Structure 1
Amino acid sequence: MKVKTKTSGQVVFVVAGLVLSLLLLSQIGTQTEWSERARNIGSQPRLWPAIALAVMVAGFAIHYWLMRQRRPNALDWVETRRWSEPLEYLVWFLIYVAAVPRLGFMPMSILFACALTYRLGYRHKAALAIAAGFAIAMVVLFKGLLGVNIPGGQIYELLPDSVRTFFLVYL
């Protein structure tokens, strides 16, 4: 099915944008504050997010009103599926971030580099070895050379003291 990129997905995108903008605007009072110490209205922490969200709501509402006769069709849903495909990598990243404090930076970096390499279709041993080598190089760069402080994994607590110290500092 050929997707017309100019109009495909517009209805779904506009409705989703309008709903999300309305949701965010409805939460502006609880997620931002009104400061009594602000020197003028322009320095209020709530002002500019509220203006941005109001403009988004207005823009999406006008766009939706102008296309009110159009209903979502099969091409809209094909385009929506195409837009949602990159969200898979967001899920991969969130799993990685949640797993690093439990299993450690080095093991999770190697595991996720190899898993993503495999997921992308590179299934040869050489590709997986390159991915593992890249992960090791990144850990050495960030923890060893740049001195980035990344908490050690909970699993390291099971190791003997001398080995645990090495793992906490370098891996």
Structure 2
Amino acid sequence: MIARTLQDMFKRYRRPGDVVFAVFILALSILLISQLGEQTEVTKRTKWYAQPALWPKISLYSMCAFAFLHWLSSAMSPRIAGRWTEVALWMRGFEYVAYFLIYVLAVPKIGYLPSTVLFCVFLAFRTGFRDVRALLAAAVFAVGVVIVFRGVLAVKIPAGAIYDYLPDAIRSFALIYL
């Protein structure tokens, strides 16, 4: 089939959630543009193409323009049902962000090893692995992560407050390796 007009060539089909996505990105880009003066600076005696603020400005103004064009094209396209169902589907991903934030808050309290094991086993269970072998594999994986990060890479991770209650000999081991 041959496109008869330019409009036929660039016909766009709207998807559920397009307007919500476009408005969100447009609002985000406007918010970020409003912060440009605080986060970047124009330095004197520097050519325009070497300014620290050049690429952030180009990217944010482009983001704003393309978000507006996306919103405009979505507003001109026929509406499709299911917008809020699509948005609810997007929001489900924030559940895992909440889990990660809980994990980050738990590490200084109960320690890196216990919180990592609990986190991995919980995520394995949450994603549908109910078999004992799968949960054990998640725990072994967590121990491997701790060994790599604390032992091999020597990443400095705060010790858990719970380690203060351990006997001195075990406490020093736990502070270094767990």
Question: TM class by shorter-chain length?
Answer: 0.7 to 0.9
SS at match of 1:8: coil
Moved over 6 A (4+): none
Query: Deviation of residue 123 (structure 1)?
Result: 1.8
- Hey, what does 1:59 align to over in structure 2? 66
Q: Does 1:151 align with 2:161?
A: no
Looking at structure 2, the residues matched to 62 and 103 of structure 1 have their Cα atoms a distance apart, in angstroms, of 49
Which of 8, 12, 15 is residue 7 of structure 1 equivalent to? 15
Looking at structure 2, the residues matched to 6 and 125 of structure 1 have their Cα atoms a distance apart, in angstroms, of 45
SS at match of 1:67: helix
- Hey, what does 1:161 align to over in structure 2? 168
- Hey, what does 1:138 align to over in structure 2? 145
SS at match of 2:75: coil
What's the CA shift string for 1:130-164, capped at 9, x where partnerless?
A: 11111111111221122222221122122222211
Please tell me the root mean square deviation across aligned C-alpha atoms, in Å: 2.2
SS at match of 1:68: helix
Query: Retained in 2: the 8 A contact 1:12–1:72?
Result: no
Percent of aligned positions with the same letter in both sequences?
43
Query: Deviation of residue 91 (structure 1)?
Result: 1.9
The alignment of Structure 1 onto Structure 2 pairs a total of residues equal to: 166
Query: Retained in 1: the 8 A contact 2:14–2:78?
Result: no
Query: Deviation of residue 73 (structure 1)?
Result: 5.6
- Hey, what does 1:87 align to over in structure 2? 94
Looking at structure 1, the residues matched to 71 and 21 of structure 2 have their Cα atoms a distance apart, in angstroms, of 10
The residue identity in structure 1 corresponding to 2:114 is P
Q: Does 1:22 align with 2:27?
A: no
Unaligned 5+ segments in structure 1 are: none
The 3 A distance-change label for structure 1 pair 91 and 43 is farther
Looking at structure 1, the residues matched to 18 and 177 of structure 2 have their Cα atoms a distance apart, in angstroms, of 49
TM-score under structure 1 length normalisation: 0.85
Query: Deviation of residue 34 (structure 1)?
Result: 3.0
Query: Retained in 2: the 8 A contact 1:103–1:153?
Result: yes
Query: Retained in 2: the 8 A contact 1:11–1:71?
Result: no
Unaligned 5+ segments in structure 2 are: 1-12
Query: Retained in 2: the 8 A contact 1:11–1:70?
Result: no
